[in-house]
Amino acid sequence: MSFEVKGIIPAMVTPMDKDDNINKKALRQLTNYLIAGGVHGLFPAGSTGEYYGLTIAQKKEVIETVIDEANGRVPIYAGAGMITTKDTIEVTKMAEDIGVDAVSILTPMFIRPSEDELYNHYKTIANSVDIPVLLYNNPARTGVNVSARLIERVSKIENIVGIKDSSGDMTLTGEFIRRTGDDFNVLIGKDTLILSGLVYGGKGAISSTANLVPELIVKIYEEYVKGNLEEALKAQYELAPLRLAFNMGTFPIVMKEGLKLMGIDVGNTLEPVEALDENKLSKLKKILEDIGVL
């Protein structure tokens, strides 16, 4: 593997114009803003990036743009999950061909695969490429919650190197860590639990709120690594109001509205998701002012 899986990796929003085309200028601006914030990697075309509404050609455009603008400064992890195994392999191979460092595979949504079916799904995908593969557990979005036993099994597949866990269940996250080896990397996907995950033995986080406040979230990680638990906890608590503000609108509109307030015009989310009303926008602005990014 050409890089170490660790640190804070923003799950990037996908900037779009009024016709739902990719806004590459804003995407390049966002890429530089995040790298300047000290992040340890970038994660385009994931759930925060509205992958579910992008064509494969648009995903390719997004990933290529981020790779080009990052220019080797940080590793690029690309979202490649689809519902079927064959479609996931198509996106995964596309991502490998254009030069990503790793892919992330979300558990299939809508269908309810058994544990053995999931194992075979992951194994077939991993065997189709030579790059590292991270799994992605997000039961609130997919309706499927992977078990610790399954993760123990798939951790033995050579190029499956970790998992992003957005379950919010620290007992489950802890079991992922306890039952796998040191070379398997568990990343937190629930931003209110980044420090908790690090204390448990996690390697970092793939974070949506990092779109807005990369420096603050990097501070949680860096202070923890330096042994400054009090400072890490202070940063984690400072982040909490922003993460809780996600409930003000349909995901991922709050991130996009916040970035526009900050001068990065990423456009709106794909319909049917609607913009925040003036009252909610005012509340979001106050949160960002309190954190110090406005």
Catalytically active residues, by annotation: 136, 164
Peptide bond preceding 272 in cis form (omega within 30 of 0): yes
Strands (DSSP E) along the chain, which ranges?
Answer: 7-10, 77-79, 102-106, 133-137, 160-165, 185-188, 204-207
Give residue 109's identity as a one-letter amino acid code.
M
Strand-pair partners of 42: 76
C-alpha to C-alpha distance for 221 and 230, rounded to whole angstroms:
12
Give residue 72's identity as a one-letter amino acid code.
G
DSSP states of 164-210: EE-S--HHHHHHHHHTS-TTSEEEE--GGGHHHHHHHT--EEEESGG
CA-based nearest residue to 267, from 4, 29, 6, 10: 29
C-alpha to C-alpha distance for 74 and 6, rounded to whole angstroms:
11
**Beta strands 102-106 and 133-137: pairing type?**
parallel
Burial (Cβ within 10 Å: 0-12, 13-18, ≥19) of residue 194: buried
Q: How many CB atoms lie within 10 A of CB 198?
A: 21
92 among annotated binding-site residues: no
48 among annotated binding-site residues: yes
Residue positions forming the annotated binding site = 48, 206
Residue positions forming the annotated binding site for pyruvate = 48, 206
